[in-house]
A = this chain, B = another copy of it.
């Protein structure tokens, strides 16, 4: 079998935490870890596209995922190289045939909710109607709890320093779930985009996966998950009205307030199999 195509990429992550002094309420000076934050300017074929503020843990996947989720690149095959240079805080992407209609798309940028990168929102909403998520997959409650446990145990920048959001892509069977990727970033959309980029790099299909985020379920978060073809979305946080409406429209299975043994199943209940406890006398 041929090895699947893979662009030339650097592997240039940054130190994720830094230590500074802080004084607490007892007057003690404590060495306190804080999350890194770096500007990263994305150039595509020598043209400046955007500057992202990022933790810098997966800058190549972030750049690829940004281009994917903004619909500026249609497939991983279009990308020839992705080169990050932290000396000048840049990521240089070379494409095979250039970007489609960059000007038109950049003009329509919308500032999306709170944690938004300014997405081509109008177009994304138009696309909703064409998204088809598989209905013949489901997650069991046991697999869901297994995912929650894996997330809890995962070694994170958040535990050390806070101020970041995390996203995970997980596989699942009837009995359990396993984290395939876990990305944290100072911006929650960066974390989602980095997962999208890594999925392209690793040729991972979303249909049988579950997506976990620590962030809120706003409209854009739900749309991105659906675009990646992932039918099940889980968040530790709550949701907004438009997140809910989009979830209903694309028919995604969405769970919020998921922590430990608690959750709220908002939409797409047909993909969530709750086990019934067998009562014994």
Contacts and interface: CB of A to CB of B under 8 A. Distances in A.
Interface of A: 18, 20, 22-25, 27, 30, 32, 34-39, 50-54, 109-118, 121, 141, 161-163, 165, 185-190, 216-220, 237-244, 256-257, 261-266, 269, 274
19 contacts: A18-B241, A18-B244, A22-B266, A24-B263, A25-B141, A27-B274, A32-B266, A34-B244, A37-B218, A37-B240, A50-B110, A53-B111, A53-B121, A113-B187, A114-B115, A114-B186, A115-B115, A115-B188, A163-B238
A188 B116 CA distance: 11
A264 B24 contact: yes
A115 B114 CA distance: 5
B238 A162 contact: yes
A240 B185 CA distance: 11
A37 B121 CA distance: 14
B37 A243 contact: yes
User: Which interface residue of A114, A217, A242 has the most chain B CB atoms within 10 A?
Assistant: A114
Contact of A111 (B35, B52, B242, B257): B52
Identical chains in the assembly: 2
B216 A163 contact: yes
Given A20-B244, A109-B109, 8 more contacts: A37-B219, A53-B112, A53-B220, A114-B165, A114-B188, A114-B189, A116-B116, A162-B257
Contacts of A188: 114-115
A44 B265 CA distance: 41
Contacts of A261: 25
A4 to B, nearest CB: 30
Contacts of A238: 34-35, 161-163
Contact of A20 (B20, B111, B266): B266
Contacts of A217: 163
Contacts of A219: 37, 53
Contacts of A38: 241-242
A102 to B, nearest CB: 13
Contact of A53 (B116, B161, B163): B116
Given A35-B238, A163-B237, A219-B53, A264 B116 contact: no
A114 B244 contact: no
Sorted nearest first, the 9 A-B pairs with minimum C-beta distance are A114-B187, A162-B238, A37-B240, A53-B113, A163-B238, A22-B264, A37-B242, A51-B110, A115-B115
